[in-house]
Amino acid sequence: MKNQFDLTGKVALVTGASYGIGFAIASAMAGAGAVIVFNDINQELVDKGLAAYREAGIEAHGYVCDVTNEEQVGAFVKQVTEEVGHINILVNNAGIIMRIPMVEMTAAQFRKVIDIDLNGPFIMAKAVIPDMIEQGGGKIINICSMMSELGRETVSAYAAAKGGLKMLTKNIASEYGQYNIQCNGIGPGYIATPQTAPLREIQPDGSRHPFDQFILAKTPANRWGEASDLGGPAVFLASAASDFVNGHILYVDGGILAYIGKQPQ
């Protein structure tokens, strides 16, 4: 059974994995034996990522590439294939969020979120699928969101993109499952990261931040997730253990989507 989860010899490309969730997923895959490749939007972020991987004892290959630029992506995938090896696992992690009320959001801002969070995964998947077919199969993991299922104030573009990414995941599975390509998604819950740290700080009166209280009240696990909580699910979806799992979104949310929430006191 341990061999089912072994990624030794596999090349895993995780987009936007200089830090955060992408870094945690790539680190878990490295721990399972995969060779890690990542990209980011500029050299400064790539260099920071390379330093972080080195500090973690992981030999990673970093490249500058804009996932929304089809020409750049094509050249990037070709370079990785030549310099590192055939891409066996693609994790579409790169993304952004803009928290702006819908009526205040410009069409240009809306398009930017859609471009990175939905068009980017489409362009990346399109670039790796032909070689995956030629190699006899592959794994594509799209980082979706609870906003693939739920709406919330100020995230209209993000929710639209992540809902679309859920359906792109299902369609890739439908179209390319016959070639032994499994495409699934991971939908993280609320994850404790440096960016969310201010929302989890204890207030001067000793109480929890209101948003922290809100999340804990909505989460049966009664805690925020850690980035490392996504490692096991990602390794599962990247490994032979999930060879008959296709078109599925695995929500790693502590039970939020299963729960109506606590009754007010």
Task: Indicate which residues carry an active-site annotation.
Answer: 158
- Nearest in space to 127 (alpha carbons), one of 177, 178, 179, 75: 75
Rounded to 5 degrees, what are φ and ψ at 152?
-160, 155
Whose tokens are 């804009």? That residue is: 66
CB 35 within 8 A of CB 12: yes
Other Cβ atoms closer than 10 A to 82: 8
How many Å apart are CA 133 and CA 151, to the nearest integer? 36
Burial of 182 (0-12, 13-18, 19+ CB in 10 A): buried
Query: Cβ atoms within 10 A of the Cβ of 154, count?
Result: 15
Other beta carbons within 10 Å of 120 = 25
Sheet holding 11-15, edge to edge: 60-64, 35-40, 11-15, 89-92, 138-143, 181-188, 249-252
Number of Cβ within a 10 Å radius of residue 214: 14
